[in-house]
Amino acid sequence: MHRKSLVLSLALSCVLLLGHGKADAGTMPSEGPTATRLVTGLEGAVGSTIGPDGALYVTEGIPGRISRVDPHTGAITTFASGLPKRVNPDSPFGGAVDVAFLGKTAFVLVTLVSPDVGGSDVDGIYRVDGPDSFTVVADIGAFNVLNPPTIPFPFEAKTGVLYALQTYRGGFLVTDGHHNRVLRVTLDGEVSEVIAFGNTVPTGLAVSGPTVYMAEAGPVPHRPEDGKVVAFEPTSPTATEVASGASLLVDVELGRGGTLYALSQGDFPADAQEGSPALPNTGALLRVNEDGTFTVITAGLDQPTSLEFIGNTAYVVTLTGEIWTIDGVSDPPHGMAH
């Protein structure tokens, strides 16, 4: 690995938008369905999920908060606060970075808050017990320190840099974009390695039955050929390439009808140093095709990080603290679903 993975790059890049924002209307250039701005002003938003009530839940790492967003109006309310805050408030990554529900209970993935990076909290999964109370379910940072990657590549953070949280068979899967692996975590706090990779930078996750789909950003300089979607089952030690050819893939999600979509943060500047994000307004929502290619659904997205679907509408969270909706994301013809 080139010293820092994508997620460490995110920790050094992007402009922060302060304030707990309100819904805001706007439009973004695109090549397909139009993207419309639903929310602005989120503080360090990276991860998201659809809750059991059908609303969008988004992590905000700077204030240590989970916000509930009405998917129709964009109205924001605080679902839970008091999580470990981002150690470096000038960085757009760290603290609460993803959220998932098991039943009606929310769980939050927290990273880059441990003593080895200047914090005093636990890197791992927290259960939301109330509006301002939490329980640490799993100390993933401690597991990483005791069980470093066995595939040879240099890494800096012994506790790892956790990126995505996905429910799986009564427990969770977690990507570590710095240690290049996927971990399985039980509700009892047991952590184990599911699958390890070379320098691929695992990011977003999606699950369909026993199959796990995963996005790979690829190492710096994040070339399109290194941006991939792969599939594996937790009982298998290897992954199968599903599609490739898109820069800086940061998420993958199943849309209506089981069609697979991916999220590209965009073009990486050729002369950029490590720690740089994709160029502004070069991100895209992509459909995964059966022949291993991608089809652009909407281009011109500004440094997106997370993707969710409600019906035929895509919701995209961006590094700039916004949420955009893309309506009319249709299923492809002839059964191109995975």
User: Concatenated DSSP letters for 8-34?
Assistant: HHHTT-S----S---B---EE--SSSP
CB 114 within 8 A of CB 141: yes
Q: Rounded CA gap, 173 and 192, in Å?
A: 10
The one-letter amino acid code at 166 reads Q
Determine which helix (DSSP H) or strand (DSSP E) holds 141, and give its type and residue range.
helix 140-146
Give the pLDDT score at 204. Answer: 98
Give the pLDDT score at 26. Answer: 43
Q: Rounded CA gap, 130 and 179, in Å?
A: 32
Give the pLDDT score at 256. Answer: 87
**Could you tell me how many residues make up the chain?**
338
With 0.85 as the threshold, say if the pTM is over it.
Answer: yes
Q: Which long-range contacts (CB under 8 A, 24 or more apart) does 230-234 make?
A: 231/338, 232/195, 234/168, 234/173, 234/184, 234/194, 234/195, 234/210
Determine which helix (DSSP H) or strand (DSSP E) holds 143, and give its type and residue range.
helix 140-146
Per-10-residue mean pLDDT, the chain, length 338: 40 32 40 87 94 98 96 98 89 89 98 94 98 98 96 87 96 96 98 96 96 94 92 93 96 94 90 70 95 96 95 94 92 49
Domains of the chain: 6-332 (2.120.10.30)
Give the pLDDT score at 129. Answer: 98
Q: What angle do CA 323, 227, 259 make, to 5 degrees?
A: 60
Give the pLDDT score at 332. Answer: 56
**Which pair of structure tokens corresponds to residue 47?**
């991860």
**Which pair of structure tokens corresponds to residue 204?**
């977003």
Nearest alpha-carbon partner for 284 in 328, 316, 331:
316
CB 258 within 8 A of CB 252: no
Give the pLDDT score at 223. Answer: 87
Query: Sign of the C-alpha dihedral, residues 277, 97, 236, 156?
Result: positive
